[in-house]
Chain A
Amino acid sequence: GAVVSQHPSRVICKSGTSVKIECRSLDFQATTMFWYRQFPKKSLMLMATSNEGSKATYEQGVEKDKFLINHASLTLSTLTVTSAHPEDSSFYICSALGRVAFLSTDTQYFGPGTRLTVL
């Protein structure tokens, strides 16, 4: 249990275009999802917290108009990188907060990540 999927796994786009990344919790409902970004040889950095049916909460320094987050259902959150530029090239990872039957507390489960390359 506790599977989180991301799509696409890899995307290459031209500068100025927008890219949408989907994050789905496949076998549990997630009222809260998180979006992280990871640059080469660096640790994960939290970008935003997404709650189902409400606006996302962005970390300091993350532009909300550039990184649009929608959490329309209990199993789906999307991240849209608008007007992408080469400096937005990174590994984007989502996670979903959920509870599986054998655990007593909510736990974050991560997707496999999306490698974005902006030319």
Chain B
Amino acid sequence: DAKTTQPPSMDCAEGRAANLPCNHSTISGNEYVYWYRQIHSQGPQYIIHGLKNNETNEMASLIITEDRKSSTLILPHATLRDTAVYYCIVRVAGGSQGNLIFGKGTKLSVKP
């Protein structure tokens, strides 16, 4: 699986948009970009994933560059409960070979 690079930490003001970047310059054509987050002492929570088109759901938006070498997760209106470690992971979809490899992620701190 391709490796990803994320900033170790970021701050965001409550109510503002949080933009979390991820570099994945060695991504393969069949690899998806997945985002998960882990709130302290809980299991990781699925947020969103995409292949090449931008994606949006009730939690966030995922913007993938045209060359697919980087992406940005956007939380449109961050709340204090969004404080968590956010993981960007690239992998092929489905199948037993598609287990997730977690890096260090970005620790997002949402401040009042």
Binding site for B on A (CB under 8 A): 2, 4, 6, 32, 34, 36, 43-46, 49, 51, 57, 91, 93, 95, 97, 99, 105-113, 115
Are B46 and A106 touching (Cβ within 8 A)? no
Are A106 and B42 touching (Cβ within 8 A)? no
Known: A97-B96, A111-B43, A113-B42. 9 other contacts (CB 8 A): A36-B102, A49-B96, A51-B96, A95-B44, A99-B94, A105-B93, A106-B98, A107-B49, A108-B98
Q: With A51-B96, A105-B32 as known contacts, state yes or no: A44 contacts B44, CB within 8 Å.
A: yes
Contact among B46, B96, B104 with A43 in the assembled complex (CB-CB below 8 Å)? B104
For the complex, is B100 an interface residue (Cβ under 8 Å from A)? yes
Most chain A CB neighbours (cut-off 10 Å) among B43, B94, B102:
B43
Instruction: Please count how many residues in chain B sit with their CB below 8 Å of the partner chain's CB atoms.
Output: 24
Are A93 and B98 touching (Cβ within 8 A)? no
Which residues of the partner chain B approach A45 to less than 8 Å between Cβ atoms?
A: 102
Are A46 and B93 touching (Cβ within 8 A)? no
Provide the bound-state CA to CA distance between A92 and B28, in Å. Answer: 31
Are B44 and A43 touching (Cβ within 8 A)? no
Are A43 and B103 touching (Cβ within 8 A)? yes
Provide the bound-state CA to CA distance between A81 and B94, in Å. Answer: 28
Q: With A32-B96, A51-B96, A97-B94 as known contacts, state yes or no: A107 contacts B43, CB within 8 Å.
A: no
Provide the bound-state CA to CA distance between A99 and B32, in Å. Answer: 15
Closest B residue by C-beta to A108: B100
Complex interface residues of chain B between 33 and 55 (CB less than 8 A to chain A): 34, 36, 38, 41-46, 49
Question: Chain B nearest CB: distance from A51 CB in Å?
Answer: 6
Provide the bound-state CA to CA distance between A27 and B87, in Å. Answer: 25
Question: Chain A nearest CB: distance from B6 CB in Å?
Answer: 11
For the complex, is B112 an interface residue (Cβ under 8 Å from A)? no
Provide the bound-state CA to CA distance between A57 and B95, in Å. Answer: 14
Which residues of the partner chain B approach A6 to less than 8 Å between Cβ atoms?
A: 43
Which residues of the partner chain A approach B44 to less than 8 Å between Cβ atoms?
A: 44, 93, 95, 110
